[in-house]
A and B are shown apart, each in its own frame.
Chain A
Amino acid sequence: MKRQGSVMVFIEQEDGQIKDVSFELLTKARDLASELKEKVSAFVMGEKVSGLADEIAAHGADLIYTIEDKELKYYRTLPYFHAAKKAIREENPQIVLFGATLIGRDLAPHVASYFYTGLTADCTELQIGEEKMLYQIRPAFGGNIRATIVTPDYAPQMATVREGVMKKGEPVKGRKAEVRPLKVSIPAEVAGLTAILHRERKEKTINLKGAEVIVAGGMGLGSAEGFALVKELAKVLGAEVGATRAAVDAGWAEADRQIGQTGTTVRPKLYFAVGISGAIQHRAGMEESFKIVAVNTDPEAPIFDIADYKIVGDYKTVLPELIAAYKKLQQ
């Protein structure tokens, strides 16, 4: 199959605020496009979005489709699908990337279904492989294996990527792009299918992405009381508390603290993995941390394979020792 056309990115915005994941995707799209010797295109939609073009250009887009309509003020599947369909048709790209946000994971499959093409969710790596195919790499089976997925015979090749997985490049101020406003009329019968009655944002108190130090706990802690020691170390270090999916499922930590393929992806300066065996599902969310300290009783735990510091021992003695050492050396 002949593959040609740009690498296209869905730019997700709300109230004029572009999501970080969109910038991360633009950075990745630049790499992929230069390898393919193609352009980076982008599409952005909302009630008022034309003012965002410079920012999108600065992050790497060569061509930007803007779609403005009052029906696109807040995300609803079918009006957004209507506009996305038009932009993708117009551009006819070889690759389309979406952030694996709640919106991206709602919109991208609807689009892929319509175009009869493949879509790979939550990719952790994207590469150009043989025959210029997009290699879409993701953990599978609860993260215990890593699969490379391709869409050889259908176009465009589509993938979603979680926020924080790809690196966001530095914007280039004044970088120019061609801006093409698209006129999309959203039929009343489509716009009327879903009405938003009320929206409410909860104040975010947990900030894993912004944390420089994270202390995370897993099933090896054995109980909520055990998990409390993790919280204590975090408090002493001024760190944020993270958890594995199992620890969240066990009720030891809030869902917002989950780190891993289906939780948050983090890359702090320092990551403590306490009582975490290190299933790839979890590692996918933290392995890019600058320094990793792992504490586990099992010397063979896979977490040690990616650890900079390995401590084989019972967390019940190790964590108090760490707290004591930190306090002592601070004086």
Chain B
Amino acid sequence: MEYKIVVLVKQVPDTHNISGDVMKEDGTINRPALPAIFNPEDLNALEMALEIKDKTPGTKITALTMGPPSASEVLRQCLYRGADQVFLLSDIKFAGSDTWATAYTLAAAVKKIVPDADLILAGRQAIDGDTAQVGPQVAEKAGVNQVTYAEEILELEKRSVTLRRLIEGGIEEVKVSLPAMITVVDTANRPRPAEVRRMMKYKKALSRLDFASALKTHLEYKDEEELERDLKKKGLLIPVVCADDLEVDLRKLGLFGSPTKVKKIENVVLKKEETVELTPDSKGAERLISDLRRAKILG
């Protein structure tokens, strides 16, 4: 028994560790204040895929990401941990996608690259938007079964998996027919670290979008063509998928194809009309407590 698994991963700004202001004075996003990381729950999804592979030799894991050229870093991270192949969906036509257009593009890519996928796994949500929408939308677009908030795969069968998932205030165990799109929560597992041997090999993996800068440091290559040939030979070329490679309606891609639009972005400044400042000593403490008791807020 073996499975064809696709893992959808995303490179995100590390919104939990922000250094400095997120917005510049001109109102645009201050990218340098937001280091890029592997979306945490996508690592849980990758780990779930790797655990399935550990139990079912012959299982093949394909990792996909959609993003700018620099997103190839999360694909290298997938390779370090044991993904069999990776693809970078990168095209200016994808830029500005909301969750609908993102799911539309990802589903088209899954269909193109792994048309007979048994499982599509992804993190429940990405920390830059926290919407948790892309997983369910990929399920709808791909026309497959949908299961969210998965914690643990309990049983693997040929055409189904049994898993435990979160429900409001508890858990349930479900038997899920395949193919299915499954989103994974952070309590599912502890993602394994990169494997040193694989890291030594795959840290040199590049997509053609990295070539121009790579040539500046790798003087041994005369041009992009030679670099590409060499990477291909060594299995280190990360394939780039663009809009023209997919069976998609171009009008449904990117900003243009996105039903939602950002009307306004602002730094919110909330101000209380009146703030009482108290001293950090017993006098301040007694004043506070007696104020609150008088207002019948404290008993």
Contact = CB atoms under 8 A, between A and B. Distances in A.
Interface of A: 74-78, 81, 101-103, 105-110, 112-114, 116-122, 129, 135, 140-154, 192-202, 204, 213, 237-238, 245-246, 249, 261-262, 269-270, 280, 283, 287, 290-293, 295, 304-314, 317-318, 321-322, 324-326, 328-329
Contacts of A129: 263
Nearest to B267: A145
B40 to A, nearest CB: 10
B174 interface: yes
Contacts of A293: 288
B190 interface: no
Contact of B29 (A114, A117, A141, A314): A141
A194 B159 CA distance: 12
Closest 9 CB pairs of A and B: A313-B280, A142-B15, A118-B259, A118-B260, A113-B140, A325-B285, A321-B285, A109-B136, A201-B170
B167 A199 contact: yes
B166 interface: yes
Interface string B141-155: 100011111000000
B165 to A, nearest CB: 9
Contacts of B131: 109, 121-122
Chain B interface extent, by class: 35 or more
Interface SS majority for chain A: mixed
Nearest to A203: B169
B175 interface: yes
A116 B140 CA distance: 11
A120 B263 CA distance: 12
Nearest to A117: B259
Contact of B278 (A118, A141, A283, A310): A310
A118 B277 CA distance: 45
Given A102-B168, A145-B266, A194-B177, A311 B278 contact: yes
B270 A283 contact: yes
A261 B252 CA distance: 30
Interface SS majority for chain B: mixed
Interface stretch (B46-54, B96-104, B219-227, B239-247): B96-104
Nearest to A283: B270
Interface of B: 13, 15-16, 18, 22-23, 29, 34, 98-100, 103, 127-137, 139-141, 145-149, 162, 166-177, 252, 258-272, 274-282, 284-286, 288-293, 295, 297-299
A176 to B, nearest CB: 31
Nearest to B289: A325
B263 to A, nearest CB: 4
Contacts of A321: 280-282, 284-285
A261 B261 contact: no
B136 A113 contact: yes
Given A103-B168, A122-B131, A150-B260, A328 B272 contact: no
Contacts of B162: 197
23 contacts: A75-B167, A76-B174, A102-B149, A106-B148, A108-B133, A110-B146, A113-B100, A113-B137, A116-B100, A143-B15, A145-B265, A145-B267, A145-B268, A149-B262, A151-B260, A193-B145, A194-B145, A194-B177, A195-B175, A201-B170, A311-B277, A317-B281, A325-B286
Contacts of A121: 129-133
A318 B285 contact: yes
Contacts of A106: 136, 146, 148-149
Contacts of A103: 168
B298 A326 contact: yes
B173 to A, nearest CB: 4
